[in-house]
Amino acid sequence: MAILIKGGRVITADADRIADVLIDGEQIAEVSESIECPGAEIIDAAGKYVFPGFIDPHVHIHLPFMGTNAIDDHASATRAALAGGTTTVIEMICPGPDDEPKAAFEEWKGLAEAGACCDYSFHLSVVRFDEVAKQQVRDLVANDGVASFKVFLAYKGALDIADAQLFELMEIARELGVIITAHCENAEAVDAMQERLIAEGKTGPEWHEPSRPRCVEADGVSHLCAFAELTGAHVYIVHTSCGAAVDQATAAGRRGVHVDVEAVAPHLVLDKSYAARPDFEGAKYVMSPPLRDAEEHEHLWKALADGRMVTIGTDHAPFNFEGQKDMGREAFTCIPNGIPGIQERVDLVHTYGVCEDRINLQTMVATCSTNAAKTFGMYPQKGEIAAGSDADVVIYDPAYEGVFSQSESESKTDYSGYEGMTRKGRPELVMLRGGLVARNGRYIGSGGGGQYIGRVPTH
The tens-digit pLDDT sequence of the chain (459 residues) is 899 999 999 999 999 999 999 999 999 999 999 999 999 999 999 999 999 999 999 999 999 887 889 999 999 999 999 999 999 999 999 998 889 999 999 999 999 999 999 999 999 999 989 999 999 999 999 999 999 999 988 776 566 688 899 999 999 999 999 999 999 998 889 999 999 999 999 999 999 999 999 999 999 999 999 999 999 999 999 999 999 999 999 999 999 999 999 999 999 999 999 999 999 999 999 999 999 999 999 999 999 999 999 999 999 999 999 999 999 999 999 999 999 999 999 999 999 999 999 999 999 999 999 999 999 999 999 999 999 999 999 999 999 999 999 999 999 999 999 999 999 999 999 999 999 999 999 999 999 999 999 998 876
Residue 157: predicted pLDDT:
59
* 152: β partners: 160, 183
Phi (first) and psi of residue 262, to 5 degrees: -110, 140
Whether residue 72 is contained in a domain is answered as yes
Whether residue 22 is contained in a domain is answered as no
CA distance 43 to 33: 15
Whether residue 169 is contained in a domain is answered as yes
Residue 459: predicted pLDDT:
65
Which residues are CB-neighbours of 142 under 8 A, at least 6 positions away? none
Question: Cα angle at 335 between 149 and 118, to 5 degrees?
Answer: 45
Q: Where are the beta strands (DSSP E) in 94-244?
A: 119-125, 148-153, 179-184, 234-237
Whether residue 21 is contained in a domain is answered as no
- pLDDT tens digits for range 144-198: 999 999 998 877 656 668 889 999 999 999 999 999 999 999 888 999 999 999 9
Domain region containing 191: 52-375
59-82 burial, b for 16+ CB within 10 Å, e for fewer? Answer: bbbbbebbeeebbbbbbbbbbbbb
pTM: 0.97
Residue 18: predicted pLDDT:
98
Whether residue 254 is contained in a domain is answered as yes
**Total domain count for the chain?**
1
Whether residue 261 is contained in a domain is answered as yes
* 339: β partners: 316
- CATH code, 185: 3.20.20.140
- pLDDT tens digits for range 415-428: 999 999 999 999 99
Whether residue 134 is contained in a domain is answered as yes
Question: Among the residues of 177-213, which ranges form H helices?
Answer: 187-199, 208-211
Question: Cα angle at 339 between 268 and 364, to 5 degrees?
Answer: 35
Whether residue 189 is contained in a domain is answered as yes
Chain centroid to CA 87: how far? 12
